[in-house]
Structures are given as C-alpha cells and as structure tokens.
Amino acid sequence: MDGHLYLIALGSNVRHHRHGRPRQVLRAAITALGRKGFEVEAISRVIETPPLGHSRRRYANAAALVRTGREPDEVLCELARIEHGFGRRAGGQPWGARVLDLDIVLWSDGPWTSESLVVPHPAFRSRTFVLGPASRIAGSWRDPLTGLTLNQLHTRLTKPRPAPR
C-alpha cells in the first residue's frame, strides 16, 4: 500500500467491558485500526508505566506503525472515532483514567500544523512511555525538528546522569 507512514502511540488504564484489561484493549485497538483501513506495519510490545497527573491506575502503553493515504487531520478524526467506539468521551480530565488513548506522534512527511493537530506530538520527546515502545519499532526514524533518531531521543531520556557534586 502506498501512502503515509504514521507512528501512533497507544495507551489504556481502564478495563473495557468487552475487551478486558488495558493490555487487551490495546490489542483490540490495533485490530480496529486494521478494520478502519490502516495497514499495520509494526507493533511494539506492551509496557506498563506509572500514571501521570490525577490517575492512580497504571497504564499499558505501546506504539504502532501504520500506513494510510489519509492526511494527518483525517487520521486524527479516525483515531478519535476509534477512541469513541471504545467508550472514550470528549472533554475528559487531562491525564485522567481512560479506556483508550491514540496519539499521532510522527508522520512520514515531516512537521504538520493545523487548528486541531501538531505533528510531531509536542510532548513525545519527554515521554519514556512513548519513546520506549516507539524506539523498538522505528528506532532510526528521525524527529524532523531535532534531527535525532527515536533511539537517540530515548537514550537521552533514560541515560543515567551523574549526581551533582
């Protein structure tokens, strides 16, 4: 399939009535992406991470490489429809508990800015729960704004730093 390649971050920390625990929710979300016309090219393993913000539940996180002919705003709308199909409602609390979160991290055509979307995702460089899974399936992909690979960004974020003297 021709088209654009997208790096999608997936997260869940709420059990779904039909799909089960967050790990199973992510597997079901990957299946949903395929049913919605995305060609799934690679999927990372699922990792568990501590919550950010107000939520107390641990997250299941993963990354996927998908290909589609759609432009980023169209992809964003389709991801929102998938989230809604899993029970996510608009206007939820930032960093709150959620059945499914799907974010566009990067796309193959470089930076993108519109009223509803900024790519690369503005916060991905500081999130190990995104960079860890992403670097395993797309480690050589370069951030178009810094020129660094996902492997390099992940190493910078996770490399132990010497204690101040």
Given 101, 125, 127, 136, the catalytic residue: 101
Q: Is 163 helix (H, G, I), strand (E, B) or coil?
A: coil
Q: Is 33 helix (H, G, I), strand (E, B) or coil?
A: helix
Beta strands in the chain (DSSP E): 4-12, 39-43, 47-49, 59-68, 101-107, 112-113, 118-119
Distance CA 141, CA 106 (A): 9
Given 70, 103, 127, 136, the catalytic residue: 103
The residue type of 135 is S
Distance CA 47, CA 62 (A): 6
Active site residue 101: yes
Furthest-apart CA atoms within the chain: distance in Å: 55
Active site residue 143: no
Given 98, 125, 127, 136, the catalytic residue: 98
The residue type of 35 is R
Given 23, 57, 88, 142, the catalytic residue: 88
Output the CA torsion sign for 22, 92, 105, 1: positive
Active site residue 81: no
Active site residue 109: no
| Active site members | 88, 98, 101, 103
